[in-house]
A and B are shown apart, each in its own frame.
Chain A
Amino acid sequence: MKLFTKLTLFITLSKLAIVVLFVLLLPFLVNTIAYQYNDFYLKEQKKKVLDVIAENGIDTYLQGEENYGGYTMLKEEYISLEPAGQIVLPDTIATLRRVVEEDTLTYRVLSHVFDYGGHRYVLEVGKTTATIGQYNRPLQKMALYVLIGLMVSTILIDLVYTRLLLRPLGIIIKNRLLHRRFPFRDNSPPIRTTTVDFRYLDESLVELMGKVREAFEKEREFTSNASHELMTPIGILQNKMENLMIDGELGEELQQKIMGMMKTLGRLKKIVHSLLLISRIENDQFSKSDSFRMQELVQEVMDELDHRLEEKNLRSGIRITAGVTLQHLNRDLIFQLVYNLVNNAIRYNKPGGSIAVYDQQAPGGLYRLTIADTGIGIPAAEQEAIFNRFKKVVKNENEGYGLGLSIVNTIAQYHGIGVEVVSEEGAGTEFTLVFPLEAT
């Protein structure tokens, strides 16, 4: 999930949770406040009554009666005075039921005991609980609306600000990371931001990519230099030997010695060529934009190797689906790949044996090309190591210098081609190339 999406979700959900909590608490809160305010109101009323009694005398209200009771028409409030005998009570406020003119109603009642003119009275000031809560609903509604309004506006402000805050990160990801092709040659200018963390991230990325590019360029340069430095002396030696060979004055024995030297030099040349090829592939120096017909390519490989089949008296069976065109590959490299495998199939074959090259459209659109031989096979213990550089699969002086399969492996990896090996010692080997989906 993207950071911005996460933040949006977090902000919205957390605010929503607060709203829900508030909505749940609101009736309780409003109710508590209403009761508290009402209790305060009752105390104020009591004070007013006592003031009035002190001013006018209690008889103004009792008018010779034992008690006094006064209430409004709807009986929402009442005030009563009664003689209290000898009880002593502190002021109490309680929710009590009272009968007023045959109606039993629930009141919040403040009871106050006081002495006046040698008598003790109880003053009760009451208010129906129904009127206490009368503003609760509109208050709750109002509070809810205000809250929702506030929440929506803070969410909006938060989102706009986060978006602004995170914009440099988005630019860093877009400019520095997405769709960047190794070796990162194109570099956009530094990102402008006041956030130190982003600036640091950006600078670190640029620095890191610079280092990667530097290392890559160094290796490329080394490959080029090594090629020059090695090939020139090999060339001089080769030319000197060639001139010696042409010299008619040499005896046969010397000519054979020179030829032996040329062979060794040829081996050296081949090894250097192979290492350079591997190095160039690993350095990404080949384009992968060719498309070609597999049938034609295999036929070309077979044409190149015809003489070897003849020499070893091998039969060959080629069965490639006509019209199969592969793309996004380097044709020269794939040629080399197939060539090396077919060449091995011939080299490690037994006289009178056969090789087979066939393809298969595997389910899921994968294209498989198999090169099979009836040769000496690879012992199970050595199958792991066959792609390692300089690992000689078969201990035979004249055969292989271990780089053929390394090249196969390097080319396969470069194109994302899978290589499967099935081999039985003494019976033969089968190499299968599994081409990636984008190649078919």
Chain B
Amino acid sequence: MKVLIIEDERSMALEMEAFLKRSFYICDLAFTARQGLEKMEESQYDFILLDLGLPDIDGLQLLQAARKNCPDASCIILSARGQLEDRIKGLDLGADDYLPKPFSLLELQSRMQAVARRKFGLREDTVPLGDFRVDLHKRLVFFEETEIELSRKEFDLLSYMLLHKNRPLTRMQLGEHIWGNFADDDYDSNYIDVHIKNIRKKLSAFSSVEWLQTLRSIGYKIKL
């Protein structure tokens, strides 16, 4: 997957690149809108991550150019303005998703995957997880042919960890993904643990859940 990152904050662009490279994305960087336009004309991309607050050309204008030059690319808008009008305008102009700054890199990647899933249609999207299978599209977990019932939040949590498998995830990161802006500032609380406990209880009735590891005083990790 080829990604074009158009972001005038160099260090942020570099962090995004470093993160995405680990997941085997190929990244091109553009620090100005002009550079971005040039890159778009030179090659095709699967993803364009576009900062709206660029100094040289209005971000929304650039988005229109991107739609024209790279019609196959999925555009995700990154904006620090975070106002509803921007968001609506961006999505109206054909952006596939909108991520307000500051965002978590984990969140960015899961949005990209969700966009890709939407884009490539209704194909079966089942991922193995130990002895279980997770259907990301239909949001179901199976053990052999038995469907295991998880609550909406439990499924969100499990699929998020699965998406970022083999990475330590802090309780805060998990909380922010699931509760978004409503994530509490009470970070020492272990309310995430309640959900993990429930997931473990429901799944371990069928088979071992050793892959779901607790990292002492940090958080959790799915190790596969």
Contacts and interface: CB of A to CB of B under 8 A. Distances in A.
Interface of A: 224, 227-228, 231-232, 234-236, 238-240, 242-243, 245-246, 252, 255-256, 259, 262-263, 266-267, 269-270, 273, 276, 285, 304, 307-308, 310-311, 339, 343, 347, 398-401
B188 interface: yes
16 contacts: A224-B83, A227-B82, A228-B80, A231-B100, A235-B103, A236-B102, A243-B15, A243-B18, A245-B170, A246-B22, A255-B168, A259-B219, A263-B187, A308-B184, A308-B191, A398-B186
Interface string B173-199: 100100101101111111101110000
B218 A304 contact: no
A420 B153 CA distance: 34
B12 A307 contact: no
A243 B105 contact: yes
Given A235-B103, A242-B104, A245-B167, 8 more contacts: A231-B102, A240-B11, A242-B19, A246-B167, A267-B187, A269-B102, A308-B189, A310-B194
B172 interface: yes
Q: Which 5 A-B pairs have the closest CB atoms?
A: A235-B102, A239-B15, A228-B80, A231-B80, A270-B185
Contact of A259 (B9, B53, B101, B218): B218
Contacts of B11: 236, 240
Nearest to B166: A248
B186 A347 contact: yes
B179 A304 contact: yes
Interface in B1-46: 9, 11-12, 15-16, 18-19, 22
A238 B15 CA distance: 10
A227 B81 CA distance: 6
A224 B179 CA distance: 24
B216 A235 contact: no
A304 to B, nearest CB: 6
A343 B186 CA distance: 11
B146 interface: no
B151 to A, nearest CB: 9
Contacts of B182: 304, 339
B194 A239 contact: no
Contact of A239 (B19, B100, B191): B19
Interface in B78-124: 80-83, 100-106
Contacts of A267: 185, 187
B217 to A, nearest CB: 6
A interface, by DSSP: helix, strand, loop or mixed?
Answer: helix
B1 to A, nearest CB: 19
A400 B184 CA distance: 9
A304 B176 CA distance: 13
B9 to A, nearest CB: 6
A285 B86 CA distance: 13
B135 to A, nearest CB: 23
A228 B168 CA distance: 29
A266 B106 CA distance: 15
B195 A307 contact: yes
Contact of A232 (B101, B167, B186, B190): B101
Nearest to A336: B182
B81 A399 contact: no
A332 B60 CA distance: 26
Contacts of B53: 228
A270 B179 CA distance: 13
Contacts of B106: 242
Contacts of A310: 194
B60 to A, nearest CB: 15
Contacts of A246: 19, 22, 167-168
A249 to B, nearest CB: 12
Nearest to B12: A236
Nearest to A237: B102
Contacts of A232: 9, 12, 80, 101-102
B182 to A, nearest CB: 6
Contacts of A252: 215-216, 218
B100 to A, nearest CB: 8
Contacts of A224: 81, 83
B191 A266 contact: no
A206 to B, nearest CB: 28
A242 B173 CA distance: 9
A236 B102 CA distance: 8
B194 A238 contact: no
A238 B182 CA distance: 18
Contacts of A266: 172, 176, 185, 187
Contacts of A269: 102
Nearest to B167: A246
Contact of A307 (B81, B153, B181, B215): B153
